[in-house]
Amino acid sequence: MTTAIAPRSRKVRVLATLGPASNTPEMIATLFQAGADAFRINMSHGDQQSKIPVIQAIRALEKQFMRPTTILADLQGPKLRVGKFDGGRTVLESGSTFVLDRDKTPGDATRVELPHKEIFAAIEPGARLLLDDGKLVLRVTDHGPDRIETTVEVGGALSNNKGLNVPDVVLPMAALTEKDRSDLAFAVEQGVDWIALSFVQRPEDLAEARKLIGGKAALLAKIEKPAAIDRLEEIVEMCDGVMVARGDLGVELPPQTVPPLQKRIVETSRRLGRPVVVATQMLESMIQSPSPTRAEVSDVATAIYDGADAIMLSAESAAGAWPVESVAMMNSIGISVEGDPMHGDRVHFTVMRPDPTTADALSEAAKQIAKTTSATAIICFTTSGSTARRIARERPSVPLLVLTPSKETARRLGLLWGTHAVHTRDVESFEDMVGKAKRMALRTGIAKAGDRVVVMAGVPFRTPGSTNVLHVVHITGDELKDYA
């Protein structure tokens, strides 16, 4: 059965992670109806073959609901771990000495293997080593090519293969592991829309992934390392989108520093015209509870007030007991916050200064004209999606209907603020542009008879990057009848 879903009544996008609790075709469709605009597939869990039916189920929604779907494949990245212990675990006492070395012999309370030679080359005395998501803290006192001696500042139980974070130095490690390269090739072959690169430390980390993607997907940089903050603007300029990955960022930095950093990352991404996703522990309690805490709702609302393009669910939708309720809650928080009369003022607290280009000037003008003329929507024609990104950067008060002849572009725009993308044939003339804008506005329900809409396009048509037309159109309601 085919059922068209009307444009969302909110502008912030909801990105839902799929997993054991939500990877059946029926559940994916239910999450889509509940408000999920895009789906994240975590390549850290499961094998590649298990992802194929999930991807197929997401794409099947396009026929069922007559709108593009958006898939983000999230690469695991170079996850650092310690080795194994005799008996599977040990206890480190605060104040004791603990050594990490290259010896594969099972460890004890005095030492353990560290199977990452890059750390030995980069570590410095005084640097911190955080174990098990920051529960244990070591301070480096001495080091050599095969040995790092530390003092245990915060002790506790430590078991096999627990994670290790090195927040105080930039590690000379490739951003892509062999597993990541294989997963990236698989994801591109399956036609996903976004590739998320984990543990980005510097802009150079993005180069290999960009080359391997070969233009077949958009590249999203996950900001979860303190080193990335030092070169944030360069990293944002090098990617197509950004994720504020607060999990590891909150491990490697004091938790009280994460909120201002979140605002800085969102502001930088918005200013440079890159969609930005706020992620991790947004509705964490809904993994087990059918309703969130008030603090979690406030956290989600803050991201929306800051103008984030998307808000993400992780374990809440992937492995929790209430995946549909989690998505529905995100949807309802978005609608409630955007219904606040002060929402527009808060979203525009970040000042957008247009670049000295025709496209940026027209995008800024489109927002103002829509407001002044009480237009109900902005409609743009685009091939690459750049015009849509420029308009969304302005955070207009009305929805953005994007008409594109590129199915790939329509799918990638699922993470872009306020956007409803439609895959449709290209236009041939100015009259064709006006007629199609009117018809699609009526068909999608984004406008009705008597409304005005603002239309943006580029002449000559079918020329990417040629945005130079802004036109206000009055809809009479006869457009569909005339076309029929």
Catalytic residues: 40, 81, 222, 280
Contacts of 368-375 with C-beta under 8 Å, sequence gap 24+, read: 369/454, 369/470, 369/472, 370/396, 370/397, 370/398, 370/454, 371/396, 371/397, 373/452, 373/454, 373/472, 374/452, 375/451, 375/452, 375/453, 375/454, 375/472
Number of Cβ within 10 Å of residue 121's Cβ equals: 12
Fill in the amino acid letter for 5: I
Show the tokens assigned to 412: 């990638």
Burial-class residue 6 by CB neighbours within 10 Å (0-12, 13-18, 19+): exposed
Beta partners for residue 16, in sequence order: 39, 313
Contact 84, 53 (CB under 8 A): no
Q: Is there a cis peptide before residue 460, judged by omega within 30 degrees of 0?
A: yes
**101: nearest Cα among 28, 150, 62, 50:** 150
Query: What is the rounded CA–CA span in Å between residue 252 and residue 243?
Result: 16
Alpha-carbon Rg for the chain in angstroms: 24
Contact 221, 238 (CB under 8 A): yes
**78: nearest Cα among 190, 165, 7:** 165
Cα dist from 454 to 254, 293, 434, whole Å: 46, 41, 10
Query: What is the rounded CA–CA span in Å between residue 316 and residue 32?
Result: 15
Burial-class residue 425 by CB neighbours within 10 Å (0-12, 13-18, 19+): exposed
Query: What is the rounded CA–CA span in Å between residue 416 and residue 459?
Result: 24
Distance between alpha carbon 201 and the CA centroid of its chain, in Å?
Answer: 17
Cα torsion through 54, 59, 64, 67, rounded to 10: 140
Helix axes 323-338, 294-305, angle to 10 degrees: 50
Q: What share of the chain is helix, strand, coil (3-state, %, to 5)?
A: 40, 25, 40
